[in-house]
Every structure is written in structure tokens, then in C-alpha cells.
Chains A and B, each alone.
Chain A
């Protein structure tokens, strides 16, 4: 899709470089990359994510200059950053809220990929690499949350690492290996710091592969129709540099609202108390971006089954390209799939809500219901079970079966056709209308 390079070295140094290390050609081709002209704002989250990764690495490297990875000093070194380091509060709040922003963006990016069928052939590997990035991101974020060594850091680390202990045979050995001892302690903190510094660069390498894998088939687009001619595309620069740039800037406004005006809104008060192995906080809650998985884990009374369900929930994302049987990429032309997709989002939101609440908390306050098994019907536990069942059904039943049974709407002939004709006259125009502009 990228076609032959159009770069022509103009100066002597460019010509010299071009036959030795064509790095300028590489950059020029990257900027010139033919990109479908109908990408909407949902497609800007790739660029936003690249910006997030850059922000996290830069602020993280600076924090690493002042942070002390030691069980005795970690907590106070973070306070030293907040109070004594010049603009340390700014750098730390950007980094801490940046993790949440990163996950906001990655979830939108993933949902966009699902909605527009971006994972379908020939982009399965692109999707797999993306899923791997997400997995490493989760590990990195989890270990980063441990580093301030507050109560929630400590007990969060304890709960999550203990999950591995549920695995048969290897469980206990695996947890000791993770801990570097027989419980979460200073050695755990040190190795988490080491890995927290390493993994972002693994992510960066995976991002390079992700972009490489993107540049072979080229971008998907909201119609899901392949690019047919040059008139379907525009060069990446300046068209998408300016569009992504605008989106990144708007994203930064939301980011800045958190950093400057509500920097602790996504955190937890218990993390302002130094880690204490002898005092368990009343409620151990992971960061919001893990809450849906946490709810799936707790929905199942048996620990090992819960851990396996949580693992399967992530695995479903990886194998999605082989679960989806529909030949139509974009859900614009799959009205039924669209409905199930929106229910999926609601189910994920419910799971997130349940993850933040105790299993016996009432969903509708004050509504008395009967006991069903271990919990009342009106409880967070049962809502999380219903939502978890839907989560798995969406991937393992609905997605494979729907593709075989549904009757999709006719998709347009080419990217240009629904754009140039009147929306109402275009095939599937009604469905396309809300996302057409952008």
C-alpha cells in the first residue's frame, strides 16, 4: 500500500546519506504515507497514545532521578519530589494521572478497533501486537502504582501477586520469585522499580512493531472498505499530523484539568499512608483501569477459577481476530453487531462499577430482594456475574455466531463514494452519518 518511495534527496549530504543509511528517506516515506481520507476522530487515539507514552517516559525518567527504591525511603522520597524538587509536584502528577490518561486512550483505541473491525485480515498481527502492548502496559502500570509504597501500593501488590499463588504446582514458587522473598517486602519494591523502568522501553519497541505492522496493510477506515485508488487517500503529513495534533491538544486539555485541578481524583486516600504490613486497609481497590478485571475475578467464589477467568478475559482480546466470523469489517454496516457492541461497553462499565464496590453492596439502594446463593439479587456480586457472563458471551458466542447469521447492510463501493454523494443516498448512509464528519 505504501508504494514506491517518492523521496528525492536534494542536497549532497542527503544523497551521501541515502546510499548509506536512508534515514531521511525513511522519515519522508513515513510522513508521506497514504492514509485513508475518511478517518474520524476515533482514529486519532493512536497518535494520542504515542504522545502518552512519550510523556510517561520523559516524566518517569525525571522522577527516577529523585525517587529512592527502598522500603524505608520510597514513601518519603515521593513526598520529597512533591515538596522539595522544583516542579516535582507537576512531574509526578503528570506521571500519575498520565497512567490513567494512557488507559483512557488505550481503551478508546481498542474499542475503535473492535467497532470498525480493524483487527480483521490482513491486520491480525497488528492487533496481536497491540494486545501485547496493552498487556505490558497493565504490568507496567501495576508495578508503577506499587512504587510510592503507600498502603494501597503495598496491599494492591499483595493481592495481585497472591493471585499467581492460586495456580497449581507452580503457584507458590512463582509468587516467591515475584516477591523476591516470602512476602511483599523491600526486595519486591526494588525489582518492581527495575521492571517499571524497563518495560516502557519494551512498550516503545512493540509500538515500533505496531506501526510497522500498520504500514504494511495501511490503516483501516470507518467504512471498512479497502483503499481502491489514490483518490481514497491523503498523505499522512500534513493531513493527519494536523488532525492528530489538534486531537492531542484537546486531549491534553482534559489531561491538564486532572493534573492541575483534581490531581488526586483518580487516586486513593490510603496511598497517603506509608505501607504497613500489619494494618490492612478496609477496602483494597485497584486503580480504575483494572476494575473490570477485578470484578470478574471476584465474581467467581473459587480463587483459581476466578484467576483463570480473569486471564481468559484478557486472552479473549488476543484471539478476537479468529473469533469474528463476519466478512464485513465495519459495524456501520452491521446493525445487530452494533447493538451487541454497545451492550458490551455497558457491561464493561458495570464491571468497573462492581470492581469498586463490595460484593454485598446494593446496586439500587434500599431495594430489598431475596437471597440467591451467596448474595442477594440486588448486589454488586450478582451484577458483576451478569456482566461477566455477557463479557465472555460477547467474545466467545455472539461474535462468532453473529457473523454467520446476520444480514449486513450493503457497504459502499469505495471510501470516496459515501463521502462524495449525499449521506442519505449513500448505501448505509444513515448508519454512517454520525461518524462521517471529522
Chain B
């Protein structure tokens, strides 16, 4: 009785924290029907998908979004899109080197001889050079909105990869009940918002779900063509970029889960041994 109550109380407390309800409404973020390769305790990244996702990032997202916490070298680290066991040091990985060198933007630097501001090619130690030199420039180019850095985007959104997957596909024509949609913004059913104030006067029905997002619809069918011949409709592009950004948020996931399995096995055996010792030590004590 006591045990059950305490366990229940502990569980309730533990999980209540994560369930703060949003007052805004939006489409419930859901992943692709086939699920994510990386979900569950044994799920790992699909390397080909990470490579496709990186291509989507390079050709589409990187026009506006920085990826400041990822260096090119990280792309070739274990668990990363271009990891190759032949190159334990990712800085030697030719694919990684080529990606760094071929990055469309140069890195802002100081010329060591003259001290002048200059731009140089990326090395594997660099993060992809960002699309805007600073926040003001980013806002000025995007109607006042700031495209968030994508390094932790999946970690920073309720629903994680499901949110990314849903929001890039969530664009719809603005519902006719909405009066005076904000200029330069796009109606998206997956973007959290509260549209009550935009309803026509006298409209007392619940407002449509979703909100207005500053990002124009980023993906169209086959906007990005994949070298491995994978389907390039919006659904697949969305899944690939969501997977890539999940990796960018959590690049150590594979190492974490693999270590976790070993730790669990160890702890289970160790607990078993301790229990056997406990039974043995206490065998002559009535308690």
C-alpha cells in the first residue's frame, strides 16, 4: 500500500513537470508514418538520411539559419553524417574536408600580416559560416524576424523532430475567417499561436488552430535532389532535415545509447550479485 502510493506520487511529480499545457493551439506535432530511426532506447541515426538532411540544410536552410555549434569536423565524428571508420580523426576525412572547402560562404577573419578584416576558406574546425554577420543584419533581411540558430532547434521545441517535420509541411492558405492577416507572414497550422484576435467581429466560434510564422514555405517537391536517388517530395525532405537537426542537437546520442546498454547490463549483474550477497549475509538473521 505504502509502496504503491509513494511510487505513484513520485511518478506523478516526475512527469507533471514535462506536461505544462500550452494556452495556444497548434497541430499536434507528429513524425513520419514510418517513425524515426533514432527513436526508442536502441534507435540510431540513419547515416544516409543525415547526409540527405545535411544537403537540405546546405541548399535551403543555411540561406537564413546558422548552425554555430556544429563544426565541419563534427560531420565526420562517430554518429555523424559523414563518419567513416577509416578516418578516426574526422579532420582527415576527405568528404568532410571537401564540404568545408566547398562551403558557399567564407569565414570572417583577420589577415595576420596586415590586421585587416578579411575572409578565408573554411577548415574542418570551423562552423559553417553563418548567413548574416550579426542579429541586426539577420532581422533587417527577414522583415524584423530572427531566423533561429539551428544547432539546438530540435532540443528547443516541444515535440522535437516531430515539430520540425510538421511545421515545414504545415503551410495552408489563410482561413477566410481570419481578418487582416499580418503582412509578410505565413499561416501555418503547426506553428503555435492564438488567432482569436484576428477573427471577424461577431465570430464566436473557436479560432482556427496554428499561427502566423515569418518563415516562407521552405520546401517544395524536389527542391533538393538527393544523390542516392531517394524520393525528394516535401514529406521526405522534411523527414530528412528533421533527422539531421536532431543529430545537430544531440550528436552524442549513439554513443550515449551504446554506453547506456553496457551500463544497464553491468548494473543488472552487479545488483544481482549484491542481492545474492545480501541474502547470504542475512541468512541467519530473522528480520
Known: A37-B285, A249-B267, A253-B268. A270 touches B24 (CB 8 A): no
Q: In the complex, what's the smallest C-beta–C-beta distance from B160 to chain A, in angstroms?
A: 8
Q: A269-B155, A288-B16, A289-B13 are in contact. Are A239 and B267 (CB under 8 A)?
A: no
State whether A253 and B271 are in contact (beta carbons under 8 Å apart), knowing that A265-B18, A285-B20, A349-B8 are contacts in the complex: yes
Contacts of A257 in B (CB 8 A): 264
The 0/1 profile, CB within 8 Å of B marked 1, for residues 245-272 of chain A is 1100110110011011101111011101
**Does B183 sit at the interface, judged by CB under 8 A?**
no
Report A-chain residues with C-beta under 8 Å of the C-beta of B69: 76, 79, 83
A73 to B: closest C-beta gap in Å:
13
Return A272 CB to nearest CB of chain B, in Å.
4
**Is B108 on the interface with A (CB-CB < 8 A)?**
no
Q: Which residues of B contact A283 (CB under 8 A)?
A: 20, 22
Give the contacting residue for B287; candidates A76, A108, A285, A438; CB below 8 A: A438
Report Cα–Cα, A118/B287, bound state, in Å. Answer: 19
Interface centre among B1, B6, B257, B268 (most CB of A within 10 A): B6
Q: Cβ of A115: which chain B residues have Cβ within 8 Å of it?
A: 2
| Total B residues in contact with A, Cβ cutoff 8 Å | 56
CA–CA, A174 to B200, complex, Å? Answer: 49
Residues from 1 to 45 in B contacting A, C-beta threshold 8 Å: 1-3, 5-6, 8-10, 12-14, 16-24, 41
Instruction: Report the tally of A-B residue pairs with Cβ distances under 8 A.
Output: 159
Within the complex, which residue of A264, A265, A355 is in contact with B16, where a contact is CB–CB below 8 Å? Answer: A355
Decide yes or no whether A424 CB sits under 8 A from chain B: no
Chain A residues in 8 Å Cβ range of B22: 282-283
A289 / chain B contacts, CB cutoff of 8 Å = 13
- B146 CB to nearest A CB, Å: 10
Residues of A within 8 A of B277 (CB): 242, 245-246
Task: Answer whether residue B87 sits at the interface, using C-beta atoms and an 8 A cutoff.
Answer: no
| Chain A nearest Cβ from B159, distance in angstroms | 9
Q: Across the two chains, which residue of chain B brings its CB closest to A36?
A: B287
- Among A38, A246, A265, max chain B CB count under 10 A is at A246
> How far apart are A422's CB and chain B's nearest CB, in angstroms?
12
| Contacting pair A260 B281 (CB below 8 A) | no
Cα–Cα, bound, A249→B10 (Å): 19
Taking the complex as formed, is B100 at the interface, i.e. its CB lies under 8 A from any CB of chain A?
no
Among A164-172, A176-184, A340-348, A389-397, the one that faces the other chain is: A340-348
Q: With a CB–CB cut-off of 8 A, which chain A residues contact B268?
A: 253
Binds A, one of B48-56, B58-66, B248-256: B248-256
Chain A residues within 8 Å of B282, by CB = 239, 242-243
- Interface status of B274 (Cβ within 8 A of chain A): yes
Question: A317 CB to closest chain B CB, in angstroms?
Answer: 16
Report chain B residues within 8 Å CB of A238. 281
Instruction: Say yes or no for A356: interface residue by CB 8 A criterion.
Output: yes
A239-B281, A272-B155, A352-B16 given; A245·B274 CB < 8 A: yes
Contact present for A356 and B256 (CB under 8 Å): no
Find chain A residues with CB under 8 A from B274 CB: 242, 245-246, 249
* Given A246-B275, A263-B256, residue A256 in contact with residue B264 (CB < 8 A): yes
Q: Chain A: residues with CB nearer than 8 A to chain B?
A: 37-38, 42, 76, 79, 82-83, 89-90, 93, 100, 104, 107-108, 111, 115, 234, 238-239, 242-243, 245-246, 249-250, 252-253, 256-257, 259-261, 263-266, 268-270, 272-273, 282-283, 285, 287-289, 291-292, 342, 345-346, 348-349, 352-353, 355-358, 361, 416, 419-420, 434-435, 438
Partner-A contacts on B (CB < 8 A): 1-3, 5-6, 8-10, 12-14, 16-24, 41, 69, 74, 148, 151-152, 155-158, 160, 192, 249, 251-252, 255-257, 259-261, 263-264, 267-268, 270-271, 274-275, 277-278, 281-282, 285-287
Q: List 18 A-B contacts (CB under 8 A).
A: A37-B285, A37-B286, A76-B69, A82-B252, A83-B252, A108-B10, A242-B274, A249-B270, A256-B260, A260-B41, A260-B256, A260-B264, A261-B41, A265-B18, A283-B20, A288-B16, A353-B12, A357-B21
Known: A249-B270, A260-B264. 5 other contacts (CB 8 A): A76-B69, A89-B256, A260-B256, A349-B12, A434-B2
